[in-house]
């Protein structure tokens, strides 16, 4: 019997589109979505984290150890899990963004976006015309290497997640323009950079930081968008939830490994000292 490979690829693209659309719909329905960051650039740790129960992960190319060449293997590690993959690129350059989308990323996180022009550049790179200016190639992993391209092309506006990071005082002057841009789904607060910019580094319970978060949430709600952030610890969940944030992350694959290793070593050292 001849293997119906083209049909298999069509189904792959269809299922991929459903997974992506489900995440975006859940987000816009106001559901809380939990995630984490992947900073090691390793497909094995990616696969392990993918099986832990997160809704989404961010493959971090801005601060992480991996490169674009590692992203494809990480996406393969995520494939069977149902966990959505967002890639944090280094900036809004078109080539950087559409490259990882072609590999099959479910969305893009763009750092240090400061105004409407920065936002437009990121959205242009994410989306095919007429919404954007993304370059077209059919033989890409995102489309099942060709046969699923028509379905992928027609669905990206409804499925790809656009996450724009708010990390500077300049971005606070343009929140309405940034949040109101079509293609933007999440305003993501970078707590370290934003608190640094506010002159209160690391003080995420400081009244000025809380006031700034409320300002960001207000702008997002007015535009029908959501807000996300990276928590220092899961114990901060209630704090950020009460502030109106529904796209919440904690930890990295590196921190999970480090914490587990240190806890195990400490337990063994304690046991040894008792002998």
Contact 102, 75 (CB under 8 A): no
Q: Which of 162, 158, 170 is nearest to 220 (CA)?
A: 162
Structure tokens belonging to residue 13: 């693209």
Return the number of other C-beta atoms located less than 10 Å from residue 71's C-beta.
24
Torsion angle defined by CA atoms of residues 240, 242, 247 and 248, in that order, rounded to the nearest 10 degrees = 40
Return the number of other C-beta atoms located less than 10 Å from residue 135's C-beta.
11
Residues 6+ apart with CB under 8 A from 118: 92, 110, 112
The number of CA neighbours under 13 Å toward the Cβ of 25 is 7
In angstroms, rounded to a whole number, what is the distance separating the alpha carbons of residues 171 and 192?
Answer: 15
In angstroms, rounded to a whole number, what is the distance separating the alpha carbons of residues 71 and 74?
Answer: 5
Of 28, 63, 127, 206, which residue is the catalytic one? 63
Q: Which of 162, 227, 156 is nearest to 191 (CA)?
A: 227
Active site residue 98: no
In angstroms, rounded to a whole number, what is the distance separating the alpha carbons of residues 133 and 138?
Answer: 15
Q: Which of 151, 139, 154 is nearest to 13 (CA)?
A: 151
64 φ/ψ angles, rounded to the nearest 5 degrees: -75, 170
Q: Mind telling me the catalytic residues?
A: 63
């Amino acid at each position: 019997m001849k293997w119906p490979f083209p049909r298999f690829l069509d189904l792959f693209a269809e299922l991929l589109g459903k997974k992506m659309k489900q995440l975006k719909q859940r987000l816009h329905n106001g559901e809380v979505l939990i995630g984490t960051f992947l900073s090691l650039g390793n497909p094995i740790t990616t696969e392990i984290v993918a099986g832990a129960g997160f809704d989404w992960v961010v493959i971090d190319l801005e601060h992480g150890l991996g490169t674009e060449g590692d992203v494809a293997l990480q996406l393969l590690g995520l494939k069977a899990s149902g966990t959505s993959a967002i890639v944090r690129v280094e900036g809004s350059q078109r080539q950087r963004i559409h490259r990882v989308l072609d590999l099959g990323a479910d969305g893009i996180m763009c750092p240090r976006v400061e105004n409407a022009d920065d936002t437009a550049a990121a959205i242009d790179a994410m989306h095919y015309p007429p919404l954007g200016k993304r370059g077209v190639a059919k033989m890409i992993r995102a489309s099942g290497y060709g046969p699923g391209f028509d379905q992928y092309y027609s669905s990206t506006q409804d499925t790809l997640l656009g996450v724009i990071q708010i990390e500077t005082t300049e971005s606070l002057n343009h929140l309405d323009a940034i949040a109101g841009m079509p293609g933007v789904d999440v305003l993501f607060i970078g707590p370290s950079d934003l608190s640094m910019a506010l002159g209160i580094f690391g003080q995420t319970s400081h009244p000025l930081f809380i006031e700034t978060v409320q300002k960001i949430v207000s702008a997002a709600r007015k535009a029908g968008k959501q807000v996300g952030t990276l928590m220092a610890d899961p114990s901060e969940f209630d704090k950020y939830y009460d502030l109106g944030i529904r796209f919440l992350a904690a930890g990295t694959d590196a921190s999970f490994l480090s914490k587990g290793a240190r806890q195990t070593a400490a337990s063994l050292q304690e046991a040894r000292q008792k002998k």
